[in-house]
Chains A and B, each alone.
Chain A
Amino acid sequence: MARKKNLETIAPWGLLIASILLWQLICAAFDVSEFVFPSPLQIVRSLIEFAVPIAEHAWRTFWTTMVGFAISIVVGVVLGFVIGSSRLAYAAMYPLMTAFNALPKAAFVPILVVWFGIGVGPAILTAFLISFFPIMVNIATGLATLEPELEDVLRVLGAKRLDVLIKVGLPRSMPYFFASLKVAITLAFVGTTVSEMNASNEGIGYLLISAGSAMKMPLAFAGLVVIAAMAMAMYELFSWIERHTTAWAHRGQS
């Protein structure tokens, strides 16, 4: 049993290393030009060579994403609470929200640039716009799927609607909430990067564009690696928080 568990933790790393090796092998065997498709070794080399500027751009992307993500948690929870706690609000707002979610968020960037100028503003807002929807939907679902019997038990005791929401609705929607955070954080990175590619002089998105136009392909790939690493790290952080706060919803896996 313990061995099986061990194998499960090692497996993703094993696969990662195997694919990197295969990649390196193919690049070497076919002598692929680094302008077309750089090998892992070349990417690592440029990661080291440009460590300082990459770190600066990465930090910028990171905090921009975090600010946008924080806004989307607040807005997503509040909207989800409103939509989930009232049938009328649900009926009124849900179609509108779905339509909004269907819009490509990259299309907002030029508009946001007109409103807020080049730089941090559009990036934060794009990260927010792209990531609040899953949070809102999950909170609303958690609240709206409350068992009617449970509500009766409490209402008979004289519980107000707010009592029911606070004692039962919110704790009940916590697993949904944390599950949505994992999705939302990765989306937020997408939002920031897209915005930086279009309208910024800083951040990984900008780095990707400028490295691409200077034909520095290994550097562009290094940027992608950094974004992926940041998103993965945040994803793991939230799934760790999820496991440790809502263990009751994940019984049977431990």
Chain B
Amino acid sequence: MSEAFVDFNEVWLAYNEELLERNDFAIEDITLTTGEGEFIAIVGPSGCGKSTFMKLATGLKMPSRGTVRIGGQQVTGPLKIVGMAFQAPTLLPWRTTIDNVLLPLEIVEPYRSQFKKRKDEYRERARRLLATVGLQGYEDKFPWQLSGGMQQRASICRALIHEPRMLLLDEPFGALDAFTREELWNVLRDLWTAQRFNVILVTHDLREAAYLADTVYVMSKRPGRIVTRRDIDLPRPRDLEITYTKQFTDLVHELRSRIGEIRKS
């Protein structure tokens, strides 16, 4: 493996001083490294600190103990090389789809100071990105005129418009129906194949994790620990057909039994 991109070294986090004194940690002793351009998935029961992990990886939270390094740099504050998307699309209803996608460029440097001057260029870029996820023709619609799946596509575009080196997804497809979800798996797969950014996908859908990721980490209940690391050695490019093979179902079954062990303990 080449130079590590995400590097958690014995990371512990308690949300505040009081909890720290009582040794009440949200996550404990997390150590993991990912290579540049790797797609990892974190799965676990609800309340296992998956979202806490996300906050650490983006620099929104600082670890109580241990260090987090992203791209070779120790994390000391919010990282601008990150894009995020959540279960709720959180699009702004007063902005059109394209203006929602452009929002990060109005905030993050160096785009921010050039935004007025190069607006046409940026709009063209947003238009191209929207087209790659199948939203051409919807640029000037408002989010509430789009379906849930379309909103989530736009939300992923917003996370990618400033060409971040890392994409963080917190159960992004959790609220969608099964067919739309599988469709969006492929959208994400194609975007990642084309751009090779680093992805951390937090999910409780084991099929989703196995289908998309290079490596799956299983986390235990609170306090969150990583109990298993599983390389997904399915060949790429992957197609939805693969989810019906025995190799795939065995893999999912294995992951499922790990989660089962945690729940009993």
| A24 within 8 A of partner (CB) | no
Q: Could you pull out 25 A-B pairs where Cβ atoms are within 8 angstroms?
A: A147-B90, A149-B88, A152-B55, A152-B60, A152-B84, A153-B85, A153-B86, A155-B78, A156-B60, A156-B78, A156-B79, A156-B80, A157-B107, A158-B78, A158-B107, A158-B108, A159-B107, A167-B103, A174-B94, A246-B94, A248-B93, A248-B144, A249-B93, A249-B94, A251-B142
Please give me the residue from chain B that is nearest to A164 by CB atom: B107
In B54-90, the 8 Å CB interface with A consists of 55, 58-60, 78-80, 82-86, 88, 90
**Closest Cβ of chain B: how far from A80's Cβ, in Å?**
19
Question: Are A149 and B86 in contact (CB-based, < 8 A)?
Answer: yes
- Chain A's interface size range is 20 to 34
Question: Are A167 and B107 in contact (CB-based, < 8 A)?
Answer: yes
Most buried by A among B82, B94, B104, B142: B94
- B254 — which chain A residues lie within 8 A by C-beta? none
Question: Are B94 and A153 in contact (CB-based, < 8 A)?
Answer: no
| A154 within 8 A of partner (CB) | yes
| A163 within 8 A of partner (CB) | yes
A-B contact count (CB 8 A): 61
Question: Are B90 and A150 in contact (CB-based, < 8 A)?
Answer: yes
Question: Are A157 and B88 in contact (CB-based, < 8 A)?
Answer: no
Cα–Cα, bound, A172→B95 (Å)? 11
| B225 within 8 A of partner (CB) | no
Cα–Cα, bound, A249→B85 (Å)? 23
| A171 within 8 A of partner (CB) | yes
- A159 — which chain B residues lie within 8 A by C-beta? 107
A163-B107, A167-B106, A167-B107 known; A158-B80 Cβ under 8 A? yes
A155-B60, A156-B78, A156-B79 known; A171-B92 Cβ under 8 A? yes
Cα–Cα, bound, A171→B162 (Å)? 23
Cα–Cα, bound, A156→B109 (Å)? 12
- CB-CB contacts of A218-243 with B at 8 A, as 1s and 0s? 00000000000000000000000000
- B88 — which chain A residues lie within 8 A by C-beta? 147, 149
Question: Are B106 and A156 in contact (CB-based, < 8 A)?
Answer: no
Please give me the residue from chain B that is nearest to A246 by CB atom: B94
Please give me the residue from chain A that is nearest to B54 by CB atom: A152
- A152 — which chain B residues lie within 8 A by C-beta? 55, 58, 60, 84
| A168 within 8 A of partner (CB) | yes
In A152-187, the 8 Å CB interface with B consists of 152-159, 163, 167-168, 171-172, 174
Cα–Cα, bound, A6→B242 (Å)? 58
Question: Are B90 and A149 in contact (CB-based, < 8 A)?
Answer: yes
Cα–Cα, bound, A42→B22 (Å)? 80
Please give me the residue from chain A that is nearest to B57 by CB atom: A156
**Closest Cβ of chain A: how far from B199's Cβ, in Å?**
15
- B85 — which chain A residues lie within 8 A by C-beta? 153
- CB-CB contacts of A62-91 with B at 8 A, as 1s and 0s? 000000000000000000000000000000
Cα–Cα, bound, A171→B103 (Å)? 14
**Closest Cβ of chain B: how far from A155's Cβ, in Å?**
5
Question: Are B104 and A157 in contact (CB-based, < 8 A)?
Answer: yes
Question: Are A153 and B84 in contact (CB-based, < 8 A)?
Answer: yes
**Closest Cβ of chain A: how far from B158's Cβ, in Å?**
8
Question: Are B86 and A157 in contact (CB-based, < 8 A)?
Answer: no
Question: Are A156 and B82 in contact (CB-based, < 8 A)?
Answer: yes
Question: Are B93 and A158 in contact (CB-based, < 8 A)?
Answer: no
- B162 — which chain A residues lie within 8 A by C-beta? 157
Cα–Cα, bound, A5→B162 (Å)? 46
Question: Are B94 and A248 in contact (CB-based, < 8 A)?
Answer: yes
Question: Are A156 and B90 in contact (CB-based, < 8 A)?
Answer: no
**Closest Cβ of chain A: how far from B51's Cβ, in Å?**
10
